[in-house]
Amino acid sequence: MSVASPVAGPVIEGVTGSVQSTLARIVRRNGWTIVLYLLLAALLLLARALRSGFGPADIQSLAIGVMPIIFAAAAQTVCVISGGIDLSVGPVMAFTSVTAAALMKGGSEESAIVVVIFVLLLGVAVGAINGALVVVSRVPDIIVTLAMSFVWAGAALLVLSSPGGAAAEWFKDLSSGSFLIDWLPKALVVVLVCVALVWLPLRRSRLGLSMYALGSSPVAALRSGVDVNRTKVAAYMVTGLFAAAGGLTLTMITGIGSPRPGDYTLNGVAAIVLGGVSLVGGRGGMLGPIAAAFILSLIRINLVFLGVEPSYSTVIQGVILIIVVMIGGLVALRRSRA
């Protein structure tokens, strides 16, 4: 979907025009992201209008619910931008979540820090395995990660056969409550800081540039001296890191670990597509998917406020996704003809 390219990859700009044209360019380039944030604001206002009591507590529960989806979307974004797709994000989240819960059980509060670091490294290792298999086997990404989704789901079941484990108190506190002001949920701050800490330096780095190049055109990237295989593995490692962070938030929210993968793979893919990341690769950024993750959840909440039966909300969510991508397809068609 090439509706727009929010936060497009680093592009060398020639002459910078006047302030006006710079502004116009920003709007043109990030048009879709701006639309998404306007939509997000509208949905929040709608929620407030529908339920007068909609306040900080609701925002907090929204942010807590969206946390794992944001990490799943962030994981998928990195992978898709570099021209791959990772269908094992959900199972990897389950695997890292149960590992964290199993290790934290019985451990002291301090040792939980070590567990968190270990689980993040585990995610990187899992990603490295996925990426290495893609490179070595020469099988398309979608097939490798599809096969690996069975493997990681099995690994999750090996760690804990049924929901269990525990989480440290300070760890659980990370997602509850607010930060500084009532309207700013701590969960939101945590997730944004985590994503920014990894993504912002990465996007500006040589590796980030290589990832966008690889996603745009593997052949061109190779000819320009990008180490294609290493970039691919690195992208999957970052994907694994975000997936592990998502798994940690699952443990953080529930206080336990569940070996059953949720719908996070599909939710993540839906969020990045709505967020303007092109599935073909090489286009998109992190701001769009984050907004999209919130929008998808807010639509559900607003439908509940409207008194729509919860069973309809899946239908409506799917219909919205389809309509958005169809509009995207139409816009792309228009552009290619123009």
Partner 1 sequence: MSASPGTVSEVAAAGPGRTPWRRRLSEQPTIPLLFLLLCLVLLLFLIQPGILNRPNAWISSTIRFATPLALLAACQTLAMLTGGIDLSVATIATMSAFVMATQSAGQGDAVAVLLGIVVGACMGLINGIGIGIFRVQPLIMTLGTGLVGAGLLTVYQKFVLTAGSSVPDPIAWLGGGTSLGFFPNCLLLFLPVAALIIFSLRRTGYGRMLFAVGDNPIAARLAGVRIWQVLLVVYVLSGVLAAIAGIMLAGVTKTAALGSAEGLLLPSVAAAVIGGTSIFGGRGGYTGSIVGALILTVLVNLLTVLNAPQPIRQIIYGAIILAVAAAYARLTGER
Enumerate binding residues for partner 1 (CB under 8 A). Answer: 1, 85, 133, 136-140, 142-144, 146-151, 153-158, 161, 266, 269-270, 273, 279-280, 309, 311-319, 321-322, 325-326, 328-330, 332-333
Joined tokens for residue 165? 């484990």
Nearer to partner 1, 25 or 335 (CB): 335
Nearer CB in complex with partner 1: 125/189: 125
**How far is Cα 149 from Cα 244, in angstroms, rounded to an integer?**
14
Which amino acid appears at position 278 of this protein?
S
Q: What is the maximal distance between C-alpha atoms in the chain?
A: 64
CB of 270 vs partner 1, minimal distance in Å = 7
Compare residues 66 and 112 and give the one whose CB is closer to partner 1.
66
The CA distance from 206 to 170, in Å, is 36
Angle between helices 56-81 and 206-216 (to 10 degrees): 70
Give me 34's structure tokens.
């701006």
169: helix, coil or strand?
A: helix
Of 147 and 198, which has the nearer Cβ to partner 1? Answer: 147
Closer CB to partner 1, 141 or 188, in the complex: 141
The residues that bridge with 178 in the sheet, in sequence order, are 185
SS3 content of the chain, % helix, strand, coil (to 5): 70, 5, 25
Structure-token pair, residue 54: 């909609």
Tokens, residue 247: 């798994």
Report the residue number, 182 or 263, with the smaller CB distance to partner 1: 263
Q: How far is Cα 275 from Cα 294, in angstroms, rounded to an integer?
A: 10
